[in-house]
Structure 1
C-alpha cells in the first residue's frame, strides 16, 4: 500500500503455491513487484517452505525467471471463453 492505494498483493499458500500475484499497472516498472516477491520469498523461508510454484502468464514469465523460477509445464487454459497460454513454474530454495 502506498498513500492509501493498494499497489500489489500476493497469496502464498502453505504448499508453496504463489497465487494471485498482482501489481497495479500504474506501479509496474517501479520495483513494487520485486519488493512484493522478495517479501513472499522471505515469508516462505520463515515458514519453512522449500518449493514454490505458480501458474504464470506469458508476460509474467521473465519476471519469475529473474527470481530463479523454471518452467516445468506449458499449458493452455480457458478464461472467459478465451484460450490462453501460461506456464507452471517452480523454484526450490
Structure 2
C-alpha cells in the first residue's frame, strides 16, 4: 500500500468507495434510511474535488486500486476518512491519519478534531482522541448520530 496526494482524476473512484463503504461497513451501526441519507449515491463531485484540493488529501492505493482516503484542513479538522470495504483492518486508516497528523504538526497544528461515526468512534479513541459530545446531524429529515472528538498534539497533554 502506498500513500499519495489526491488528484482530481481520483474523485469518481473515491465517490464510489465512499458510497460502498458507508452502505456496508456502517450498516452495523446505522439503519438503511440513515445510510441512504448519509450516502445518497449522488454527491456533488465538483464540490468534493474542490474540498479535496483545498485540504491536505491523501489517497491509499494497492496497485492501481484506491483502497482508502482521508482529508484534513489547515486547522487540524479531519473531515473524511474512509477505507474500502474489502481492505478493512489492514492499517490503512491508521497510515492515512498518521501521515495527515504528522504533516499538520509540521505546519504548527497542535490540536486535531473530527466528527466520528458510531462505527469509527473506537478507532479514534485508540488513537488518543476523546469524545467531547454526542452530535445529531440532520440529513434530509433523517437524524444521524456522530461524536465530536478531539486530540491534543502537544506532548504531555
TM-score tier after normalising by the smaller chain length: over 0.9
The number of equivalent residue pairs is 93
User: TM-score under structure 1 normalisation?
Assistant: 0.93
Larger relative contact order (C-alpha < 8 A, sep ≥ 6)? 1
Whichever structure has more helix as a proportion of its residues is 2
Output aligned runs, 1:43-82, within 5 Å.
43-82=103-142
CA deviation profile, 1:52-80 (whole Å, cap 9, x unmatched): 00111011000000110011121111224
2:67 & 2:144 partners in 1: Cα distance? 25
Output aligned runs, 1:1-93, within 5 Å.
1-93=61-153
User: TM-score under structure 2 normalisation?
Assistant: 0.57
Structure 1: runs of 5 or more not aligned:
none
Structure 2: runs of 5 or more not aligned:
1-60
Whichever structure has more strand as a proportion of its residues is 1
Higher-Rg member (1/2): 2
